[in-house]
Amino acid sequence: MIVIPTWITNCLFLAGFVFTAYQHWRLNPENPVTNVQFIVMVGSILMILMVTLFNRTNPWLSLAFFLIAAGSLFLAIRRHRQLPPSKAWQ
Domain locations in the chain?
A: 12-56
Residues 6+ apart with CB under 8 A from 32: 24, 38
pLDDT tens by residue, 18-64: 999 998 888 887 887 888 888 999 999 999 999 998 887 788 888 99
d(CA 14, CA 63): 17
Count the Cβ atoms, other than its own, within 10 Å of residue 78: 10
Q: What is the arithmetic mean of pLDDT over 4-22? A: 93
User: Is the Cβ–Cβ distance between 10 and 51 less than 8 Å?
Assistant: yes
